[in-house]
C-alpha cells in the first residue's frame, strides 16, 4: 500500500526566504505526483504536476522536482511572501491512474 | 468556466438518515474520485470511477456507495450515516487527455452527523 510522508509538518519562515518542502512515497510505481495548496477551510488548488517520466516542473516562484527511484519530491518556493502561508499537500497517483494517496501536508507560515 | 461543483456545501443531519452528496464536472473528464479530509488523518480516497459504470474502492469505502451513470456526475451516497462520517468531503475529476490526469477539486462539502 502506498504511503506518502511530508516533512516538516509545519514551517515558519520570515518573508523573502527561499524554502523547500519535502514529500516521500514508498512505492515508485506512480503515474504522476501533484502538489496542491490548501487555505484554511477551503478547497485544494493545484500548483504543479510532474509526470513519472519528468524530473521537474516550474511555475513562477515554484519549482517541483521528482526522483522516482528514491521516492522523493521537493517543492521549492523562492522569495516567500505572506500570501504563501497555507498548507501544502502532495499526492501520488498509482500507475493505473485511479488510486491517489495524499501526504498529511506541510503548514507554512511566512511572517512579514 | 471549467469546474467541479458539489452540493450541498454544508449539511447537518442525524444518524441513520440517508443522504446524497452530488458532484458534477463540466470538463468531460473520465476519472472522478471522492475523498474525505479529517484532522490528523489527511485526505483519504473513498471511491473512484474510471468511466461510466466503472467504479472501484479507495482506502476508506466502508459506509459509502457511489454510482456513475453519466460521465459528468458522480454522487456519493451515505445509506445510514453515523457520527464517524462527520468530515469534509471533496470530489475531484481528471482526464488522460487533458493535463495528464491532473486532478481538479470541488469546493468541498462539510458534513456533520449528530
The reply to whether B100 touches chain A by the CB within 8 Å rule is yes
Q: Which helix (H) or strand (E) holds A30?
A: strand A30-38
Contact across the interface for B103 and A31, Cβ inside 8 Å: no
* Rounded average pLDDT over B14-22: 97
Q: Which among B58, B96, B108 is the nearest to A97, CB-wise?
A: B96
**B63 vs A94, which has greater pLDDT?**
B63
pLDDT reading at B98 higher than 70: no
The pLDDT value recorded for residue B99 is: 57
CA-to-CA dists, residue B9 to B6, B61, B84, B87, B106, angstroms: 7, 21, 19, 12, 10
What is the least distance, in Å, from the CA of A44 to any CA of chain B? 6
> For every residue of chain B, which 3-state class applies, written as one string?
CCCEEEECCEEEECCCCCEEEEEEECCCCCEEEEEEEECCCEEEEEEEEEECCEEEECCCCCCCEECCCCCCECCEEECCCCHHHCEEEEEEEECCCCCCCCCEECCCEEEEEC
The pLDDT value recorded for residue B40 is: 85
The reply to whether B61 touches chain A by the CB within 8 Å rule is no
Phi/psi at B9 (5° precision)? -85, -30
The reply to whether B9 touches chain A by the CB within 8 Å rule is no
The pLDDT value recorded for residue A96 is: 75
Query: ω into residue B8 within 30 of 0, thus cis?
Result: yes
Residue of B nearest to A51 (CA): B100
Q: Which residues of A touch B92 (CB under 8 A)?
A: 44
The pLDDT value recorded for residue A95 is: 82
Categorize the per-residue pLDDT at A65 as very low, low, confident or very high, splitting at 50, 70 and 90.
very high
The pLDDT value recorded for residue B8 is: 97
Over the stretch A2-55, which tens digit does the pLDDT of each residue have?
Answer: 999 999 999 999 999 999 999 999 999 999 999 999 998 889 999 999 999 999
The pLDDT value recorded for residue A41 is: 84
Q: What percent of chain A has pLDDT over 70?
A: 99
Lowest mean pLDDT among A17-21, A60-64, B51-55, B100-104: B100-104
Q: Which among B42, B59, B108 is the nearest to A43, CB-wise?
A: B108
Over the stretch B24-79, which tens digit does the pLDDT of each residue have?
Answer: 999 999 999 999 999 888 899 999 999 999 999 999 999 999 999 999 999 999 99
Q: Which residues of A touch B59 (CB under 8 A)?
A: 1, 99, 101
Categorize the per-residue pLDDT at A98 as very low, low, confident or very high, splitting at 50, 70 and 90.
confident
Sign of CA dihedral A21, A25, A30, A36: negative
The pLDDT value recorded for residue B2 is: 84
Amino acid at each position: 500500500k502506498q504511503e506518502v510522508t511530508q516533512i516538516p509538518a509545519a514551517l515558519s519562515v520570515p518573508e523573502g526566504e527561499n524554502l523547500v518542502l519535502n514529500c516521500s512515497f514508498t512505492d515508485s510505481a506512480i503515474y504522476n505526483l501533484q502538489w496542491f495548496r490548501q487555505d484554511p477551510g477551503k478547497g485544494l488548488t493545484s500548483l504543479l504536476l510532474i509526470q513519472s517520466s519528468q524530473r521537474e516542473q516550474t511555475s513562477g516562484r515554484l519549482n517541483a522536482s521528482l526522483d522516482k527511484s528514491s521516492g522523493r519530491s521537493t517543492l521549492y518556493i523562492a522569495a516567500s511572501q505572506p500570501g504563501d502561508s497555507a498548507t501544502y499537500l502532495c499526492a501520488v497517483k498509482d500507475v493505473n491512474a485511479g488510486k491517489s494517496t495524499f501526504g498529511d501536508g506541510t503548514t507554512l507560515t511566512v511572517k512579514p | 468556466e471549467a469546474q467541479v461543483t458539489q452540493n450541498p456545501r454544508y449539511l447537518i443531519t442525524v444518524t441513520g438518515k440517508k443522504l446524497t452528496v452530488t458532484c458534477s464536472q463540466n470538463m468531460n473528464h473520465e476519472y472522478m474520485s471522492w475523498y474525505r479530509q479529517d484532522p490528523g488523518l489527511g485526505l483519504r480516497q473513498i471511491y473512484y470511477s474510471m468511466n461510466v459504470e466503472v467504479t472501484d474502492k479507495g482506502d476508506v469505502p466502508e459506509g459509502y456507495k457511489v454510482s456513475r451513470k453519466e460521465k459528468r456526475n458522480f454522487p456519493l451516497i451515505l445509506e445510514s450515516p453515523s457520527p464517524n462520517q462527520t468530515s469534509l468531503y471533496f470530489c475531484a475529476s481528471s482526464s488522460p487527455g487533458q493535463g495528464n490526469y491532473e486532478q481538479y477539486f470541488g469546493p468541498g462539502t462539510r458534513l456533520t452527523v449528530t
